[in-house]
Amino acid sequence: MNPGIKVVLGVTGGIAAYKGAELARKLMELGLGVQAVMTRNAEKFVTPLTFEALTGSPVIRAGLPEPGDDPMPHISVPRSASLMVIAPATAGIIGKMANGIADDTLSTMLLAADIPVIMAPAMNPAMYANQAVQENIARLKTRGVRFVGPSAGEVACGETGEGKLAPVEDIVSAVKEALNLKTDMDGLNVVVTAGGTREPIDAVRYIGNRSSGKMGVAIASAALRRGATVTLISGAMDVEPPTGVAFTQAMTADEMLNAVGEAFKTADMLIMSAAVGDYHVNGRSGGKVKKKEDWTISLAPNPDILMEMGKRKESQTLVGFAAETERAEEHGLEKLRNKNLDVVVINDVSRKDIGFNSDFNEVTIITKSGAVEKIPKSPKTTIAGKILDTALAVRDGSKPRT
Ligand code: C5P
């Protein structure tokens, strides 16, 4: 999965390491990709499997890489990420970073990283108050490292004072601030469809299409990051649905119509990026049809889900896609009008370097008021952001002025 923004979560050895797991989950729910890195001591408190299960990626552990692993994770991992968060941060990792000591994977990564770093210290209050620790923190602050907490209270050893890991929500807020995440979709219910439908021919064969689901997943992740509540309804996809979405699988156009129809009732925005098959098989066989010389299959049209939602539309913002091979803009505009859309995203599927199964796309976005924006070849994650920007602008523009 490529959710666009990746955060490296460093977990060091303290009793609060289990809260690192909660943090990983919360970051994933924001539509962020999380790469966990654990120190040897962290593994004494929580297993790497916990983080692997939560983040969906193998944990980077202390020690030298095994044959076949990335030989230089300390360089490549922070380069592919936007932020490092160390939670909990022990006096040890703070001291190492402040003094340029690189003696395991995480401390080496911290020195190699050219991205913002957030540290959430957790330790015994006497240790936290120690002048050496305080000097190390002060030094790191002057170098731009952001600190969240610690908070005051009873710590694991039974003593009371400043040394508790800051509340996970506070660390999440610091991450949002550091990444400059927009909150302009707070409170919005967004329904996104993705992937391709599959219409059964018999018990084993189907008619499908080439959609990978990447565009829809990028939109769902971007909407999550901006604060929306996201429902993802998908057919077949090559990618995983992002953590944090309410996910429904709908393999046929009929199933998708039902799922979208239900979700549409409480939606503020529907973005139909699924490639819905236009036909289903008439008189589908329940068993497997035996091989034969000739086989003529008769097809009947599927419901047009988007057109149907266009009819049912009240205050929802409706975004549709138009995959075209010729006269793309003209055909896209026609769809916008026929299906009562607010925004249409047109892509030229005759090109091999973008579109289907690619991480890139090049689109033209047209709004119902005729504004045209051409987005040059860009990652689908960037295009997702532009689509949401436009949909929000149209939505705000159509609200009655007070
Ligand atoms: O008419 P066309 O299939 O090109 O329209 C594409 C748009 O309509 C996409 O947003 C797609 O998700 C949606 N669509 C639909 N139901 C169909 C076919 C397409 O909702 N049966």
For the Cβ of 244 lying below 6 angstroms from any atom of ligand 1, the answer is no
Q: What does the mean pLDDT of the chain come to? A: 92
Q: Which residues contact 296 (CB under 8 A, 6 or more apart)?
A: none
Q: What is residue 401's predicted lDDT score, i.e. its pLDDT? A: 43
Q: Which two tokens stand for residue 108?
A: 């080496």
Mean pLDDT score, 320-337: 91
CA of 305 to the centre of ligand 1 (A): 7
For the Cβ of 341 lying below 6 angstroms from any atom of ligand 1, the answer is no
Strand-pairing partners, residue 280, are: 300
The answer, yes or no, to whether residue 46 has pLDDT greater than 70, is: yes
Q: What is residue 366's predicted lDDT score, i.e. its pLDDT? A: 96
Catalytic-labelled residue, pool 49, 53, 157, 371: 157
The answer, yes or no, to whether residue 76 has pLDDT greater than 80, is: yes
Q: What is residue 395's predicted lDDT score, i.e. its pLDDT? A: 94
Q: Which two tokens stand for residue 218?
A: 């990028």
- Give 349's pLDDT tier (boundaries 50, 70, 90): confident
The answer, yes or no, to whether residue 112 has pLDDT greater than 80, is: yes
- Bigger pLDDT: 400 or 232? 232
**Side-chain half-sphere of 275: how many Cα atoms within 13 Å?**
21
Q: Which residues contact 265 (CB under 8 A, 6 or more apart)?
A: none
Q: How far apart are CA 298 and CA 284, in angstroms?
A: 9
For the Cβ of 223 lying below 6 angstroms from any atom of ligand 1, the answer is no
Q: Which two tokens stand for residue 99?
A: 């003094």
For the Cβ of 304 lying below 6 angstroms from any atom of ligand 1, the answer is yes
Q: Is it true that 6-179 and 189-279+294-398 share their CATH fold?
A: yes
Region of 244 please: left (phi>0), alpha (psi -120 to 50) or beta: left
- Give 19's pLDDT tier (boundaries 50, 70, 90): very high
Please tell me the residue having the least CA distance from ligand 1 atom 9. 321
In the β-sheet with 33-38, what is the strand arrangement from edge to edge? 33-38, 6-11, 83-89, 117-121, 146-147
- In percent, the amount of the chain with pLDDT more than 90 equals 79
Q: Which of 3-12, 217-226, 246-255, 367-376 has the lowest mean pLDDT?
A: 3-12
Ligand 1 atom nearest to 308, measured from its CA: 20
Ligand 1 atom nearest to 345, measured from its CA: 10
The predicted-structure confidence for 362-392, as pLDDT tens digits, reads as follows 999 999 999 999 999 898 889 999 999 999 9
Superfamily of domain 6-179: Flavin prenyltransferase-like (3.40.50.1950)
Q: Which of 10-14, 57-61, 212-216, 345-349 has the lowest mean pLDDT?
A: 345-349
For the chain, what's the residue count? 402
Domain boundaries, the chain: 6-179, 189-279+294-398
- Give 355's pLDDT tier (boundaries 50, 70, 90): low
**Active site (annotated) includes residue 157:** yes
Mean pLDDT score, 160-174: 94
Strand-pairing partners, residue 146, are: 118
Q: Which of 316, 305, 133 is nearest to 234 (CA)?
A: 305
Q: What is residue 161's predicted lDDT score, i.e. its pLDDT? A: 86
Ligand 1, pocket-test mutation among 210, 278, 304, most atoms within 8 A of CB: 304
Q: What is residue 354's predicted lDDT score, i.e. its pLDDT? A: 66
Q: Which CATH architecture has domain 189-279+294-398?
A: 3-Layer(aba) Sandwich (3.40)
Ligand 1 atom nearest to 324, measured from its CA: 4
Q: Which residues contact 67 (CB under 8 A, 6 or more apart)?
A: none
- For 34, counting Cβ atoms within 10 Å of its Cβ (0-12 exposed, 13-18 middle, 19+ buried), the class is buried
CA of 326 to the centre of ligand 1 (A): 17
- Give 3's pLDDT tier (boundaries 50, 70, 90): low
The pair phi, psi for residue 292, each rounded to 5°, is: -145, 170
| pTM score | 0.84
Q: What is residue 399's predicted lDDT score, i.e. its pLDDT? A: 57
CA of 216 to the centre of ligand 1 (A): 13
For the Cβ of 272 lying below 6 angstroms from any atom of ligand 1, the answer is yes
Please tell me the residue having the least CA distance from ligand 1 atom 19. 276
